Amino acid sequence: MKTQLAITDPIFKEMLRDEPERALERLELEFETIEISELSKIIASLEKYDIIYQMDLTVYHQIYYRIAMYKKEKQDMMSFRHHMIKTAKTKAELSEYLNQYDVFNAKKVKQLKKAVELETKGLYEEAITAYKQLKYIPGVLWLNSTIQEIAKHATSISDLKIALMFDIQHVKKDEILLHLKQLEKKLIAQFEITEFYSLLVRVKKAGLLPKRYSEYPYSDLSLLFSAEDLFKKQEYYPAYFELKQLSKRMFHQGILTKLFDVVSKHIILPKAVFKELFRSKGYILRKNQIFMSQSIQEALYTNNTIMIEAAVGIGKSYGYLVPALLKRHASREKKAIIISTSSLVLQDQLIDKDIPNMNTVFQELYGYEPVHAIMGKGKTNFGCSQRIRKYIEQVRKEIKPAKRKNQPFTQLVKIKNYLMDFLTRSPFLDKNDVDSKIITPEIWREINADKCVCKNKCKYVFYRETLGTHNGIIVCNHQQLLAHIRNENAVVPKNIFPALDQVDSIIIDEAHKLEDAAKTIFTSSFTLRSLKEFYNHIQQFYKDKRHVIPMSHDEVVSRYFKKLHHTNLLFKEQIDILENKILSWVIPASFEEQDSKNELLLERDGGRYKLHLDSSNKHLHKMSKQLQVIQGLMENINYHEEDVPYRLRLQVSNFIDVIQRFNQHDGYISFVEKSNGEGWIFSNMRKSYSSILNQQLMSLPQPVILVSGTLRVHNSFTYMKKQLGYTKQFSQPYYLNNTFDYKRNRLAYIPKHLPSPSHRDDEYYLKITTEIIRLLHLTQGRSLILFTNFKDLEEVYSRLKFSVPYKLLKQTKHNDTEKLIHEFKLNKNACLLASGAFFEGFDVPGESLENVIVVKLPYPVLDPVLEEEIKQAGKDRMKNVLLPKMNILLNQAMGRLIRKETDKGLVSILDSRLHRQGYPATKLIVSSVKPSKIYTQYEELETEWQLLR
């Protein structure tokens, strides 16, 4: 006969202690036969063990119901109600019993209701924890039952997480792996990396993590947290490029591919824009243009500096405008985009054509509002309202006496009326709005804003204010960009464009010209004339202010003003001494002879001279001291008055800087030159501009995009990287070729029989002109003839103008480049003789340009910095200095010819030195011209040209 189970049974006690599972099993089998008093003790003992959570809920319910009924019979109503609470089989019953049986204290009731609330929200794990803390066993049991049922059919993320919890609790390893795989797929599809990672951590803590998830890449999922955070903030583009960075670090491509798919639904990549242009507008898809655009987009979002050489025909402008505009439209905070170029032609193209076209595309495709673009130009490109009004009054005064004397006055009236109309018609008094036939260069010099000191009511001042707060696109030249950066870092800062923290990105097209611009902007100089003007301005400032000193500061400020006036008079004496003695300090010399540190380079009237510092140093030192006193007095006055003109404060700072550097040779070249227009000019140039470009431009927190058609020399970026301060910290440069068939569509001609340009006499010019005539007849005009100086241009033009039937156009130092290009395009057979700017930025696709003639290899014009480079390079000066600079310019010139896939043309280089044995440039030039076939005999060329045509 079976013995009735009792808590006092030694065997059961041992079983309860050592094998609680068996004890629970016996209880579930025999609970109906156990005495109530023993049953209550046994269940209470089992509730001390976690095994209780594996008990059958129905059995638990029946046990407590029996005990409750027993208590009711015994009239122990408090105990009855307490046990009835534990008979609930669902959260609904629990809620009902809590209201029906008022047994628990208010705090415990509140906690149980909180657990029910968690369960109702589907937070089962939290609910189970709450029930366990309250030692409310049935809640745990019915939730386990619910979870088990959910686990059987789990498909949603919430159900799968519940299933995983059940798997861990019941050590179901196969199900853990299955459910983790399902969760991985679903959570990654929602970019919930942190949540998935936390699940892995939880499984790992339970010691049940499958091997698959204990290894890479899952061990490194935390690397994705940053991208996830960006995604959740709806910063989709930064999230995408964060993933791109991980992709480069060889993070698991399978996971990244899935995440890329998730993010890509929220962004527009340049590839999609160009494909849509192809579909809707027939735009030619260029693989390298798309690559360029997407590389720039990545740089824009990773705040990187990137260098790209994009061959002619890639479509550079659209290549950088598309990603720049995409970022602009995606950004919550609208900041300025600065696009800097070397040529006015490209600036006009961007403002008048490329940016409006792209605005239209983005509006049509995506409904984006156009981004306003403004041209950033210097003072001399604008009129000054005040100066124009004064000039109109001056003209009016001239008209009256002309009328009285019956002299011609029609032109004066025309000028007056035109200026009055210009004053009201042009929003910023832009020089481009002026008819140069009426407003001559002489008149423009009288009315431009170069000396504008207006504080308000001037359209130029309004333009500067507009430019300084513009948050759209600013198109400018390299000099203006660098001047803006220089000014922001100046002792007395004054911005041209919006402050750099309001600039989103800087795009530099024609980046190969950046170093030349740096030479202009970062060269400190002053003229003897400017010293005199500074003296006069100080005197005028003193006269204007000495009678209006505020009474509260009368004594202090008066003393400052008197000392300023006295010091300025002493300064004028030093200016006069400098003017009188500078000629006596000059000694003739060549640069190579500059060995002594007591001598400085001097250029005058085309010759080189030295300034002997033993004679001049004492005087320059005295001037510097006086200027420092003036500077200090101006600062003191400005502190009280706040009215010292910015221009004067900037000038005195510049004078001191230049003069003091005349005593510091390391890193600088100091020189003096004589200009017909400005007189004596004192200058300091850096020996290298690499470091300042690196510090002030390349290393800006904003992304800097460098683009050009010619950045490589000898198929390497090494030279340009060195010159521009493009160091290892920046992205690896890209070279992007076009699909042009140069071998089939371009011929090259380098004749042997011409004289060397080293001796340019009458015979040389005659033979060069004769050769040019033959080439012009060959292509029926349609030619760009490029010279390295205006003297050669004039010599050839004078011999050519009566020898060919084609319209000849000639560049001069004063004519309008834009109008010259326009006229060339209008005349199909025209021939343009040009120099300088026309080596680059000249875009005439089609039959109007079929012949580019380079008369002489375009070696760089010597300046002090270049001469220093040559000196430092020693015997390698050709290879490391002169050839790279020449090659870049020559490649630009050749790039004028074939502008689209269907163009055909001829490149002629009339420099016979290339046939000289051992000539250093020959190999480089031949490499640049390839794959075009090179002809040396005109007759062969003529035959091939006819076949090509």
Domain match, 898 and 773 both? yes
**Distance between first and last Cα of the chain:** 119
Interval 735-748: pLDDT, tens: 999 888 888 889 99
CA–CA distance, 597 with 588 (Å, rounded to integer): 16
Residue 675 sits in the same domain as residue 795: no
CA nearest 43: which of 14, 96, 85, 86?
86
The set of residues, in sequence order, having a beta carbon less than 8 Å from that of 768 and lying 6+ positions away, is 754, 755, 796, 855, 910
Tokens of 526: 């002053």
CATH code assigned at 790: 3.40.50.300
User: DSSP strand E in 743-844: where?
Assistant: 746-749, 783-787, 808-810, 831-835
pLDDT for residue 608: 46
Is the model's pLDDT at 772 over the cut of 90? yes
CB-based contacts of 927, cutoff 8 Å, min separation 6: 714, 715
| 685: β partners | 669
Shared-domain flag, residues 680 and 784: no
Q: Which two tokens stand for residue 533?
A: 């003007």
Q: Is 299 exposed, middle or buried (0-12, 13-18, 19+ CB in 10 A)?
A: buried
User: Do 774 and 656 lie in a common domain?
Assistant: no
Q: What pLDDT shows up at residue 1?
A: 39
DSSP bridge partners of 853: 785, 908
Residues 907, 895: Cα–Cα separation, whole Å = 10
Nearest to 470 by CA among 553, 567, 372, 333: 372
In this predicted structure, the answer to whether residue 610 has a pLDDT above a threshold of 90 is: no
Q: Are residues 903 and 769 in the same domain?
A: yes
Q: Is the pLDDT of residue 637 over 60?
A: yes
pLDDT category at 402 given cuts 50, 70, 90 is low
Residue 490 domain flag: no
Q: What is the rounded distance in angstroms from the CA atom of residue 92 to the CA atom of residue 838?
A: 87
Q: Which two tokens stand for residue 904?
A: 């055909």
Of the listed ranges 142-156, 261-275, 600-614, 760-774, the least confidently predicted one is 600-614
Span 432-443, average pLDDT: 85
Q: What is the three-class DSSP state of 907? A: strand
Instruction: Report the relative pairing of strands 679-686 and 668-675 from DSSP bridges.
Output: antiparallel
Cis peptide before 20 (omega within 30 of 0): no
Do residue 632 and residue 750 come from a single domain?
no
- 924 and 883 Cβ atoms separated by less than 8 Å: yes
Domain membership of residue 707 (yes or no) is: no
If we measure between CA atoms, which residue out of 801, 732, 737, 752 comes closest to residue 934? Answer: 752
Indicate whether 784 pLDDT > 90: yes
Mean pLDDT of the chain: 87
- Among residues 641, 665, 687, which one ends one of the domains? 687
Is 93 a domain residue?
Answer: yes
- Residue-wise pLDDT for 794-817, tens only, equals 999 999 998 999 999 999 877 777
How does pLDDT run across 644-659, given as a tens digit for each residue? Answer: 777 788 788 888 888 8
Instruction: Find, among 276, 289, 239, the residue nearest to 260 by Cα.
Output: 239
pLDDT recorded at residue 227: 95
* pLDDT over 90 percentage in the chain: 44
Together in a domain, 80 and 202: yes
> Who has greater pLDDT, 170 or 783?
783
Q: Does any domain span residue 79?
A: yes
Give the separation between CA 367 and CA 294, rounded to whole angstroms.
21
Residue 451's pLDDT band (boundaries 50, 70, 90)? confident
Name the one residue in this structure whose structure tokens are 């705090």.
Answer: 107
The answer to whether the pTM exceeds 0.85 is: no
Same domain, 755 and 676: no
On the question of pLDDT at 251 being above 80, the answer is: no
Together in a domain, 585 and 663: yes
Range of the structural domain that residue 195 is part of: 10-221
Q: Are 656 and 624 in contact (CB under 8 A)?
A: yes
pLDDT of residue 583: 76
- Give backbone dihedrals phi and psi of 607, rounded to 5 degrees, phi first: -105, 165
Q: Per-residue confidence at 921, pLDDT binned at 50, 70, 90?
A: very high
Question: How many CB atoms sit inside 10 A of residue 541's CB?
Answer: 20
Q: Is 547 exposed, middle or buried (0-12, 13-18, 19+ CB in 10 A)?
A: exposed
User: Is the pLDDT assigned to residue 778 strictly greater than 60?
Assistant: yes
- For residue range 3-14, what is the model confidence (pLDDT) as tens digits? 567 777 888 888
pLDDT, one tens digit per residue, over 171-216 is 889 999 999 999 999 999 999 999 999 999 999 999 999 998 988 8
Query: Are 815 and 666 within one domain?
Result: no
What is the phi/psi pair of residue 688, to 5°?
Answer: -145, 145
238 compared with 37, residue with greater pLDDT: 238
What is the pLDDT, as a whole number, of residue 596? Answer: 40
* Sequence-separated (6 or more) residues with CB below 8 Å from residue 475: 339, 340, 341, 347, 350, 351, 355, 373, 374, 375, 376
Listed range (336-350, 389-403, 564-578, 610-624) with the worst mean pLDDT: 610-624
- Which tens digit of pLDDT belongs to each residue from 280-331? 888 889 999 999 999 999 999 999 999 999 998 899 999 999 999 999 999 9
- Residue 377, amino acid: K
Question: Using an 8 Å Cβ cutoff, are 856 and 803 in contact?
Answer: no
Tokens of 884: 């790279």
The helix or strand, by DSSP H or E, that contains position 576, with its residue range, turns out to be helix 554-581
Look at strands 905-909 and 746-749 and give their pairing: parallel
Distance CA 671, CA 345 (A): 33
pLDDT of residue 603: 46
Distance (Å, rounded) from C-alpha 118 to C-alpha 95?
13
What's the CATH code of the domain at 586? 1.10.275
Last residue of a domain, one of 665, 687, 709: 687
In a domain, 381, yes or no: no
Q: How far apart are CA 708 and CA 783, in angstroms?
A: 24
The 10s digit of each residue's pLDDT in 702-748 is 999 999 999 998 889 999 999 999 998 898 999 999 888 888 889 99
DSSP assignment string, 453-510: ---SS-HHHHHHHHHHH--SEEEEEHHHHHHHHHHHTSSS---SSS-GGGEEEEEESS
pLDDT at 612: 57
542 domain-assigned: yes
- The set of residues, in sequence order, having a beta carbon less than 8 Å from that of 37 and lying 6+ positions away, is none
Express each pLDDT in 571-593 by its tens digit.
899 888 888 888 777 654 444 33
Backbone phi and psi for residue 573, each to the nearest 5 degrees, phi listed first: -65, -40
What is the spatial distance between Cα 577 and Cα 581, in angstroms, rounded to a whole number? 6
Task: Give every CB contact of residue 498 below 8 A, 6+ residues apart in sequence.
Answer: 335, 336, 468, 469, 470, 471, 474
**Which tens digits make up the pLDDT trace of 79-96?**
898 899 999 999 999 988
Beta bridge partners of 310: 736
Residue 107 and residue 43 share a domain: yes
Lowest pLDDT segment from 146-160, 742-756, 930-944 = 146-160
**In a domain? residue 162:** yes
User: For the ranges 120-124, 247-251, 609-613, 875-879, which has the lowest average pLDDT?
Assistant: 609-613
Asked if residue 753 and residue 669 are part of one domain, the reply reads no
Domain count, the chain: 3
Q: Which is more confident, 47 or 600?
A: 47
Instruction: Look up residue 55 and give its two tokens.
Output: 């008990």
Q: At what angle do helices 36-46 and 10-18 cross, to 10 degrees?
A: 20
Domain boundary among 687, 704, 720: 687
Q: Is residue 556 part of a domain?
A: yes
